[in-house]
Amino acid sequence: MKTFYAKWMDGVVLLIFAGVLAAAALSLTKKSGDAYLVITSPDGEYMYPLGTDAEYSVAGRIGASRIAVKDGKAFFVDSPCPNKTCVQSAPLSTNGAWAACLPNDIFIRIEGGGSDTDAVAY
C-alpha cells in the first residue's frame, strides 16, 4: 500500500478552497441594506430612501417631472412628455429596476435592498 504525503501545492489548493467556501457562506448570510430611489436628471443625481413615502419634483429638459414613493414602490406621477410612457410604466420596487422619461432626460432606478434571482438552474 502506498502512503500519501501532502505536498506544499496541496496545502495551497486546500487554502484557496477554504477561502472560496468562507466567502460564499458570508455572502449568503449577509444582510441586504436599505433600498434607495436614485433619480438622475440634467441637474445631477439624487438619492432618497424607498421606505419613506414622499413625492419629489425634478426639473428636466422640458419641464418638471413628479416622482412618488409609496409603500416601498417608486413611480412617475406626472411628466411633461407628450406620450406619458413613463407615467404608464409599472412601479419600481426591486434592486436594479428602472424607468425613464427620455424626452425630459429623467432616469429613476432602485439600488440596494438585495436582489431577486435572475435565473434558475436545474
C-alpha cell at 68: 412618488
Q: Cα(58)–Cα(108) distance, rounded to whole angstroms?
A: 11
Instruction: Write the CATH number for 100.
Output: 2.60.320.10
And the C-alpha cell for 32?
441586504
pLDDT at res. 4: 64
Print the domain residue range for 45.
36-111
CA dihedral 29, 34, 37, 38 (to 10 degrees): -70
pLDDT for position 78: 95
Task: Look at the chain and report how many structural domains it folds into.
Answer: 1
Longest CA span, the chain: 83
pLDDT surpassing 60 at residue 105:
yes
In a domain, 1, yes or no: no
The whole-number average pLDDT for the span 97-115 is: 89
Residues of the chain with pLDDT > 70, as a percent, come to 80
**Residue 20 included in any domain:** no
**Is 0.85 topped by the overall pTM?**
no
Model pLDDT, residue 77: 96
15-51 residues labelled b (16+ CB within 10 A) or e (exposed)? eeeeeeeeeeeeeeeeeeeebbbbbbbeeeeeebebe
Q: Does some domain include residue 3?
A: no
Please check whether residue 67 lies inside any domain of the structure.
yes
Q: Is 43 a member of any domain?
A: yes
Asked whether residue 18 is domain-assigned, the answer is no
- The residue with greater pLDDT, 75 or 113, is 75
> Rounded to an integer, what distance in angstroms lies between the CA atom of residue 119 and that of residue 59?
37
Residues 48-89: tens digit of each pLDDT: 999 999 999 999 999 999 999 999 999 999 999 999 999 999
The answer to whether position 101 is within a domain reads yes
Task: Give the model's pLDDT for residue 6.
Answer: 65
- Whether 42 is covered by a domain: the verdict is yes
